[in-house]
Amino acid sequence: MLNYQYYPITHPDKGAGGKTGNWRLVKPVVDLSRCIGCKACFLFCPESTIIIRQDGKVDVDYEYCKGCGICANQCPVKAINMVQEVN
């Protein structure tokens, strides 16, 4: 590659919009005892921050979760609660 050539190319990666976890005012907390592993939250999460565990239930990626609350809104068994972000 010649040293003056520079192309407008980007590569798929996390955090293209920054550390979006900092955007949160409330955060989702999953009650695993109530979670039935239906994955509705996974289907509707707009940030790919709902992660499916080995046992089929879910975890949250707090580094990037924006706290929109769709997961809590869609959970059929109310296993997710939106909790005030402490700091």
Partner 1 sequence: MQMKVVSGNEAVATAVKLARVGVISLYPITPQTTIIEKLSEMRARGEIDAEIVRVESEHSAMAAAYGAAISGVRAFTATASQGLLYMHEMVWWVSGSRVPLVMVVATRAVGAPWNIWNEHTDFISERESGWIMGFAMNPQEALDMTLQAFRISEDERVFLPVMVGMDGFILSHTKTPVKVPSQDNVDAFLPPRNQPYIIDPENPIGMGNMFQPIEYMKLRESINSAIINSEQVIKEIGREYENVNLEGDYSILNPTYKVEDSEYVIVLMGAWSGDAMEAIDSLRARGKRVGMLRIRYLRPWSEREINEALRGRKGVLVLERATSFGRKSGPLYLEVKSSLDLNKTGSVSSVIAGLGGVSVSKRDIELILEKFIYDVETGKEVENYWYYPEKVKPIEPRIPRSIE
Partner 2 sequence: MSLGFRGVLNRNSLYSGTSACPGCPENIGMRQLGMALGDNVVIIVVAGCSSVIQGMAPKNSYNYPVLNIAFAAGPSAASGMARAFKIRNKKVNVVVWAGDGGTADIGFASLSGAAERNEDIIYICVDNEAYMNSGGQRSGSTPLGAQTPTTPEGKKENKKNLPFIMIEHRVKYLATASIGYPMDYMDKLRKASKIEGFKYIHLLAPDPFGWLFDPSRTAEVAKLAVQTCYWPLFEYEDGRLIVNNESLHCLDRKTRRPLSDFTSIQGRFKRMSEEQMKKLEESIENMWERIKKFYYS
Residue 12 binding partner 2, by CB under 8 A: yes
Residue 17 binding partner 2, by CB under 8 A: yes
CB nearer to partner 1: give 7 or 54. 7
CB nearer to partner 2: give 18 or 33. 18
Those residues whose C-beta lies under 8 Å from the C-beta of residue 58, and which sit 6 or more positions away, are 30, 35, 37, 39, 41, 42, 50, 51, 52
Binding site for partner 1 (CB under 8 A): 2, 4-12
CB nearer to partner 1: give 2 or 86. 2
Distance CA 63, CA 31 (A): 19
**Considering CB distances under 5 to 8 angstroms, the limit depending on partner class, which of partner 2, partner 1, none binds residue 7?**
partner 1
